[in-house]
A and B are shown apart, each in its own frame.
Chain A
Amino acid sequence: MEHIRTTKVEQVKLLDRFSTSNKSLTGTLYLTATHLLFIDSHQKETWILHHHIASVEKLALTTSGCPLVIQCKNFRIVHFIVPRERDCHDIYNSLLQLSKQAKYEDLYAFSYNPKQNDSERLRGWQLVDLAEEYKRMGLPNSNWQLSDANRDYKICETYPRELYVPRIASKPTIVGSSKFRSKGRFPVLSYYHQSKEAAICRCSQPLSGFSARCLEDEHLLQAISKANPANRYMYVMDTRPRLNAMANRAAGKGYENEDNYSNIRFQFVGIENIHVMRSSLQKLLEVNGTKGLSVSDFYSGLENTGWLRHIKAVTDAAVFLAKAIMVENASVLVHCSDGWDRTSQVCSLGSLLLDPYYRTIRGFMVLIEKDWISFGHKYSERCGHLDGDPKEVSPVFTQFLECVWHLTEQFPQAFEFNEAFLLQIHEHVHSCQFGNFIGNCQKEREELKLKEKTYSLWPFLLDDQKKYFNPLYGSTSQKLAVLEPNTVSFNFKFWRNMYHQFDRTLHPRQSVFNIIRNMNEQNKQLQKDVKDLESQIKQRKNKQTDGVLTKELLNSVRPESPALKTSLCLKEQTLLPVNDALRSIEGGNPADNRYSEYADEFSKSEPAVVSSEYGVARMTC
C-alpha cells in the first residue's frame, strides 16, 4: 500500500494500438492494491493485474499529456496518455514497485480470497492427485516401483518426493546416478505406456565431461532398458542442439557416450535454450506491435523471430518420442541441461500424443501438475513472478501451450478442451492469483505452505468447464487414437488469439464454436421440453380417461419453444459493419469493433486509408 501515491486520475486517454488515426477512449484510471483499472466513458472496464505487468514505460511528454505504455505478460499492451506529468510519474513509480515484488508472501495469491472454507480449499488442492495418476498408468507393477529415496528431498531438491524407478534399480544405484547428473536429477519415470510396457523417463545431463563415467548411472539406464520386456534397446534423447551439448562438456557436463552405455540409441533433437526462446518471443512481440504492417513485413518478421521454428522443433521432438514408443516399443529417456525446461516440454507433449486421457480437461491438469509442477519447472523464475534475474525468464511453458494449440488445430475432435482453456491457464500461470504455479519446485512450495495459504486453480477451472468444452470433441476414433501430427512447415501458423487476445479491435470474426455450443444448449433445452411435455401428456391421459389429447395443449406449448425465437442463422447479414448482431459475435461490444472505427476514419479523411490490413495479413499465416 505504501507504494500507491495517487489512486485516481481523471481524463486519461487510452489509445487504440492499431488505429492509424490515433483513436482513443477517455476515462478514469484507478490504482488499487492489486489492479490497475481503467473505466472509459461508456463504463467499460479494463482491469490489469499488477502481476501481469511485464514492463512500464514512460515516454517523452507530448502536447496532450504524458504517455505511459504498459506491456503485460498475457500480451496485452495498453497505451495511456495521462494529462499531468506528475500523476503519470506517480503511477509509473507505483506500478514499478507493485509489479515487481521481492517476497513470495506479497504475491496476490496470499491475499486472494474466493470465500471458501478450509475444507473446500483442501479438497481443491486434492483435486489433482498424482498418486492416482501413477495408479491409472498401471504402476507400480512387476518392473516399476515407487522409490522412497527422495522422500525427504535428500537426493534431489527439485524433484518431487514420490518417484517411480525400475524395480531392479537399488538405492545405491540411484544415489550413485544422482551424483553423476546435473542438480542430482537422475533418470525417473514420467509416463508409463501400459500396453507397450514402454516408459518415458526424464533426467538432467550427465556430468560426463570429456571422459568421466559412472557405473551406477550406466546400471540405472540398463535397468530402465530391462524394465521394458518388449525391446532390448532404449532411446536417449538429448533435446539440445548438438553444439550446445558439446560445449557443455568443457564445463564437466555433456551427454551420454554410446560406448559406455549398453543398448542405448542416442539422439539430439535440437531445441534451443531459454535465452534464444526469450529473445525470439521478444522479436515476435515487436513484429506484432507494428502498426500498418504489410503482408511481406509480417512474414519476413515472423521468419526472423524464429518462433515457429522453435514450436516446430518441440513438436518434432514429441513426435519422435511418441513414434519410438508406438512403432518400436522402445523406452525413451529424455533430458536437456537441467531437465526442467525442454525435457518438460517434450515429455508432456509426447504423453499427450500417446494418451487420450491428457487431452481431456482433467487429464490436461494432471499432465501439467505432473510433468511441469512436480518435476520442478521453475515457474516463478521463468515467469518472473518476483523481482529477479531477467535472464531466467523464458516462455517455455507458453511454447508448450502453443504446441498443444497447434495439435488442437490439426485434430479438432481429439481434445475435450478448447482454446479458451489454454488461454485461461496461460493467464493464471502469470497472474499469481492461485498457488499452483508459485515457486520453483515442490520443496519450495511446501516451505511456503501454499496449500494452507493459497488456493488451487484447478477447481475454479472445473467450475467453469462449460466455457472450456470443445463442442467437436468425441464420438470419433480421433478421440482415442494416438495422434500422429503432420509437422510440415505450413501446418505451423501464427497464434492470433494468444498474441492478440486483447486486440479484439483488430478485426471481427465469427466463431463456429460458439454457434455449435449455443445450438447444443438449445438442443438440450428442447429435449428437456419434450420430456416435460411427455410427462404432461401422461398426466393428462391419466386424468382424462378417454386419453384423447386436446389440441389446446399442443398449441399452448408450441410458441414457447425457446430455440425458435433466436435464430442462429447469420446468412441474411451483410459482412460489413452494418449489423450489430454480427459485430458482437465474439462477445465484443460495438464500441470495441474495428469496423466502427473504419466508419469514423472514413468520413473524416482519405477513404484510401481504410484497410483490412490486419484482417487479411493475419488471416492465413
Chain B
Amino acid sequence: MEFAELIKTPRVDNVVLHRPFYPAVEGTLCLTGHHLILSSRQDNTEELWLLHSNIDAIDKRFVGPLGTIIIKCKDFRIIQLDIPGMEECLNIASSIEALSTLDSITLMYPFFYRPMFEVIEDGWHSFLPEQEFELYSSATSEWRLSYVNKEFAVCPSYPPIVIVPKAMDDEALRKVATFRHGGRFPVLSYYHKKNGMVIMRSGQPLTGTNGRRCKEDEKLINATLRAGKRGYIIDTRPLNVAQQARAKGGGFEQEAHYPQWRRIHKSIERYHILQESLIKLVEACNDQTHNMDRWLSRLEASNWLTHIKEILTTACLAAQCLDREGASILIHGTEGTDSTLQVTSLAQIILEPRSRTIRGFEALIEREWLQAGHPFQQRCAQSAYCNSKQKWESPVFLLFLDCVWQILRQFPCSFEFNENLLIMLFEHAYASQFGTFLGNNESERYFSALEQILQVFG
C-alpha cells in the first residue's frame, strides 16, 4: 500500500492552528505518510509536527466555507486547525482518520524513521536477560536461565529466556505451562539480595471447577521456600472474581494443594473500567468552568486515584511481605500481563535502589513490561478521547507511571530521574518514532524484525 493513496490533499495554505496557551499560528499544512506538519514558513516560529499515530480522535465543524478540525491527541493535547475550503477540510480529515488508524505494525513510523543523531548504543541489546541474571547469580545458585521458550512454543507471551528455580528441568516447566493461563508458568521477577527471597509472577492456575492440580506447579513454587517458611500468593483479583474464573477454566491455588502458601486477594481493576476512569479524569481536567466543587466531584467520580491507591497498596504489601516477613511471593491475576506487572514492578521500585536510577528503571520496564509480555499495542491503541471502547484498551502502563510519580512525590530524593522521564515514556508508549513499544510481546516483535529499527532506550 502506498501512503499517497490515502493522502487526497497533501498541502493546504492559510491554515490557522490554535493551541491552548499559545498564540494562533497561520501557515501551510502538509500531510506526509506519518506526520501532520504545520509550518508558518517563517524562520522564527516553530513548526508543529504531529505523528498520525498520536491522534486519538478528530471532530469536524463547518461555518460557511471555513472548516475546523479539532484533533485530540493520545498525549491529551487538543489542537484546532481552521482550514479554508470545505473540500480541503474534508480531504484532510479523512486522510488523518485513515492514516491514524493503520493497523499493520510494519507501516508504523518506527520502520521509516532515520535518526538525525548518532546512535551510540544498541538499545535492543542493552538489557539482555543474561546480563540481568548475572546481577543475581553472584548471590545465589538456586536459579538458572531456561531456554525452554526459545521458539515461543511453550508460552507465546514470554521471552525466549526466563529465570526459573534450578531444581526444575525444562520438561517440568512445559507441564507447568499447561496448567497456567496463557502458558505463563511462574518465573522469577525479582530476587531480594538482602534475604534471598523472591517475587515470582505467572498467569492464573487452570484449576477449573473440578479443582485440577499440577504436581510440577506445586513443586516449582515450593522450590523457592526455605524449610519451615511460608510464602504468600497475591491474587490481584477479589475472591469472588477469582472464584468466578473457575467456571471459565481458570481459578486460584487451593489451600489443600499449596499448604505452605497463604493467599491474599486484592482488587485491582482492569480493562475498560480503567479506560473509562481515564476518560472521566481527562474530561475533568479539561473542564472549563473552573468550579472548585465540580472539579473535586469529577475527580472523585473518575475513580482514578482509587485505582492508584489500590495498586500502590498491593505493591506495598508485596514489598513488606518480602522485606519484613522474609517471605517469597507469587503474584498473579488472570493473564498475568497487567495488574500483575504493575505490582511486581512497583514492588521493585520500592525495594531496589537500582530501579530508581535512569538505567535501572529502563531495565525494569524492559524486563517487567516488554519482555514480560504486556500487550502494549492492544492496551495503548487508543487514549482518553476515543469512543471505540474496545475491551482490551486500557491505561495499565499509564497507571503504573502515575504510581511511580506518587512514590517520587513522597521520596523526591531517592530517584535519579524526575517526572519528565515518566511523561516521555507515556508519550512513547502511545505514539513514537521508536519501536520499543510496538507489538504485544517479544514474539511479535521478533517476527516483525524490529531489530532494524530503533529502541527508545538506545
A-side interface residues toward B, CB under 8 Å? Answer: 294-296, 299-300, 302-303, 306, 308-309, 312, 487-490, 492, 507-510, 512, 515, 568, 570-578, 598-599, 602-603, 607-608, 610-613, 615-617, 619-620
CB within 8 Å of A: which of B282-326? 285, 287, 290-297, 299-300, 303, 305-306, 308-309, 312-313, 316-317, 319-321, 323-325
8 A Cβ contacts from B317-352 to A: 317, 319-321, 323-325, 349-352
Which residues of chain B come closer than 8 Å to A616, judged between CB atoms? 305, 308-309, 312-313, 406
B412 touches A295 (CB 8 A): no
Which chain B residue has the least Cβ–Cβ distance from A578? B323
Is the Cβ of A312 less than 8 Å from the Cβ of B292?
Answer: yes
**CA A578 to CA B292, docked complex, whole Å:** 40
Q: Would you call B34 an interface residue if the criterion is a C-beta within 8 Å of the partner chain's C-beta atoms?
A: no
Contact A510 B309 (CB under 8 A): no
Among B325, B353, B407, the residue within 8 A (CB) of A573 is B353
Interface mask (B384-396 → A, CB under 8 Å = 1, otherwise 0):
0000000000000
In the complex, the 3 A-B pairs of residues with the closest C-beta atoms, listed nearest first? A489-B295, A299-B300, A303-B296
The interface residues of chain B lying within 8 Å CB-to-CB of A303 are 293, 296-297, 300
Smallest Cβ-Cβ distance to A512: which chain B residue = B412
Stretch of B46-54, B248-256, B413-421 contacting A (4+ beta carbons < 8 Å)? B413-421
5 contacts between A and B (CB under 8 A): A295-B309, A489-B292, A607-B321, A608-B264, A611-B313
- Residues from chain A with Cβ under 8 Å of B232 in the complex: 607
Q: Verify A510–B412 contact, CB threshold 8 A.
A: yes
Q: Which B residues, 262 to 286, have Cβ-Cβ distances below 8 Å to chain A?
A: 262, 264, 266, 285
Q: Does B357 contact A (CB under 8 A)?
A: yes
Q: Which of A488, A575, A577, A612 is within 8 Å of B411, CB to CB?
A: A575
User: A364 to B73, alpha carbons, bound, how many Å?
Assistant: 45
**Given A303-B293, A613-B309, also A490-B350 (CB < 8 A):** no
- What CA separation (Å) do A598 and B297 show in the bound complex? 31
**Candidates A294, A577, A612, A613; contact of B324 at CB < 8 Å:** A577
Select B350's contact among A300, A488, A576, beta carbons within 8 Å. Answer: A576
Could you list 18 further interchain pairs (A-B, Cβ under 8 angstroms) beyond the known A296-B303, A571-B415, A575-B351? A294-B306, A295-B305, A306-B293, A312-B292, A489-B292, A489-B294, A568-B413, A572-B353, A574-B323, A574-B350, A603-B325, A607-B264, A607-B317, A610-B316, A612-B309, A612-B316, A616-B308, A620-B406
How far does the Cβ of B90 sit from chain A's closest Cβ, in whole Å? 35
CA gap between A65 and B81 in the complex, in Å: 72
Q: How far does the Cβ of B349 sit from chain A's closest Cβ, in whole Å?
A: 8
- For B325, B413, B415, the residue with the greatest tally of chain A CB atoms inside 10 Å of its CB is B413
- Count of A-B contacts judged by CB separation below 8 Å: 136
Q: In the bound complex, how far is the Cα of B296 from the Cα of A312, in angstroms?
A: 13
Within B344-403, the residues touching A (CB, 8 Å) are 349-353, 356-357
Contact with A along B191-218 (1 / 0, CB 8 A): 0000000000000000000000000000
Chain B residue total in the interface (Cβ 8 A) = 48
Judge whether B410 is part of the interface by a CB distance below 8 angstroms.
yes
Given contacts A570-B413, A573-B353, is CB(A613)–CB(B313) below 8 Å? yes
Chain B residues within an 8 Å CB radius of A512: 412-413
Q: A220 to B292: give the CA distance in the assembly, Å.
A: 37
Q: Is B409 an interface residue, CB under 8 A from the partner?
A: yes
Are A620 and B353 interface neighbours, CB within 8 A? no
Chain A contacts for B414, CB-based, 8 A: 510, 570-571, 573, 575
Contact A608 B317 (CB under 8 A): yes
Q: Known contacts being A303-B297, A607-B232, is A507 close to B292, with CB within 8 Å?
A: no
- Other-chain residue from B294, B297, B303, B356 in contact with A571 (beta carbon distance below 8 A): B356
| A576, B346: Cα distance in complex, Å | 12
CB distance from A402 to the nearest CB of B (A): 13
Q: How far is the CB of A281 from chain B (nearest CB, A)?
A: 16
- Among candidates A299, A306, A571, A573, residue contacting B416 with C-beta atoms closer than 8 Å: A571
Chain B contacts for A492, CB-based, 8 A: 292
Cα–Cα, bound, A490→B356 (Å): 28
State which of B264, B296, B306, B353 has its C-beta within 8 Å of the C-beta of A302: B296
Contact at A576–B319, with CB atoms within 8 Å? yes
Q: Which chain B residues border A574 with CB–CB below 8 Å?
A: 323, 350-353
User: CB < 8 Å: which of B287, B297, B316 contacts A300?
Assistant: B297
A571 neighbours in B (Cβ, 8 Å): 353, 356-357, 413-416
Residues in A whose Cβ lies below 8 Å from that of B415:
571
A619: which B residues are within 8 A, CB to CB?
406, 409-410
Q: Report the minimal beta-carbon distance from A486 to chain B, rounded to whole angstroms.
A: 10
B410 touches A510 (CB 8 A): yes
Chain A residues closer than 8 Å to B303, beta-carbon distance: 295-296
A598 to B305, CA, bound (A): 22
**Docked-complex contact A575 and B317, CB < 8 angstroms:** no
Most buried by B among A598, A607, A615: A607
Q: Are B296 and A299 in contact (CB under 8 A)?
A: yes
Minimum distance in angstroms from B302 CB to a CB of chain A? 10
Shortest C-beta distance, B246 to chain A (Å), equals 22
**B270 nearest CB across to chain A (Å):** 18
The residue of chain B having its C-beta at the shortest distance from the C-beta of A568 within the complex is B413
Rounded to whole angstroms, the CA-CA distance of A568 and B413 in the bound complex is 9
Residues of chain A within 8 A of B294, CB atoms compared = 489
Contact at B292–A309, with CB atoms within 8 Å? yes
Task: Give the shortest distance, in Å, between B71 (CB) and chain A (any CB).
Answer: 23
Find chain B residues with CB under 8 A from A612 CB: 309, 312-313, 316
Q: Which residues of B contact A603 (CB under 8 A)?
A: 325
**How far apart are the CA atoms of A309 and B296 in the complex, in Å?**
10
Nearest CB on B from A565, distance (A): 18
- Distance from B12 Cβ to chain A, minimum over Cβ atoms (Å): 34
Residues in B neighbouring A509, C-beta threshold 8 A: 410-411
- Which among A296, A487, A611 has the highest number of chain B CB atoms within 10 Å? A296
Determine which of B290, B357, B407, B412 lies in contact with A489 in the assembled complex, contact meaning CB atoms within 8 Å: B290
Is A602 a contact of B325 with CB atoms below 8 Å? Answer: yes
* Distance (whole angstroms) from the CB of A533 to the closest CB of chain B: 30
A contact residues around B291 at 8 Å (CB): 489
**With A296-B303, A612-B316, A616-B309: A488-B290 Cβ-Cβ less than 8 Å:** yes
Contacts of B316 in A (CB 8 A): 576, 610-612
Contact A308 B317 (CB under 8 A): no
What's the least CB distance linking A189 to chain B, in Å? Answer: 32
Q: Which of B292, B413, B416 contacts A515 (CB 8 A)?
A: B413
**Alpha-carbon distance between A303 and B357 when the two chains are bound, in angstroms:** 38
B325 — which chain A residues lie within 8 A by C-beta? 602-603, 607
Docked pose: A575 CA to B354 CA in angstroms:
12
Minimum CB distance partner of B347 in chain A:
A576
Is the pair A295, B320 in contact by a Cβ cutoff of 8 Å? no
CB neighbours of B262 from chain A (8 A): 607
When chains A and B are docked, how far (Å) is the Cα of A228 from the Cα of B323? 69
Q: How far is the CB of A18 from chain B (nearest CB, A)?
A: 15
Check A295/B306 contact, CB under 8 A, given A306-B293, A510-B414: yes
Give the CA-CA distance A510 to B416 in the complex, in Å: 14
CA distance in complex: A96, B305 (Å): 42
Q: Identify the interface centre among A296, A575, A578: most chain B CB within 10 Å of its CB.
A: A575
Q: How far is the CA of A593 from the CA of B352 in the complex (A)?
A: 21
Which residue of B is nearest A300, CB measured? Answer: B300
- List chain A residues, Cβ under 8 A from B320: 576, 598-599, 602, 607, 610
- Give CA–CA (A617, B264) in the complex, Å: 22
Bound complex: CA A110 to CA B392 (Å): 70
Contacting residues, chain A, for B300 (C-beta < 8 A): 295-296, 299-300, 303
A301 to chain B, nearest CB (A): 9
Query: B285–A599 contact, CB under 8 A?
Result: no
Least CB distance from B75 to A in Å reads 18
Chain B residues, Cβ within 8 Å of A573:
353, 414
Once the chains are docked, how many angstroms separate the CA of A607 from the CA of B316? 11
- Which residues of B have CB within 8 Å of A576? 316, 319-320, 323-324, 350-351
Q: Which residues of the partner chain B approach A489 to less than 8 Å between Cβ atoms?
A: 287, 290-292, 294-296
Residues of A within 8 Å of B285, CB to CB, are: 490
Asked if A296 meets B353 with Cβ closer than 8 Å, knowing A489-B290, A510-B411, A619-B406, the reply is no
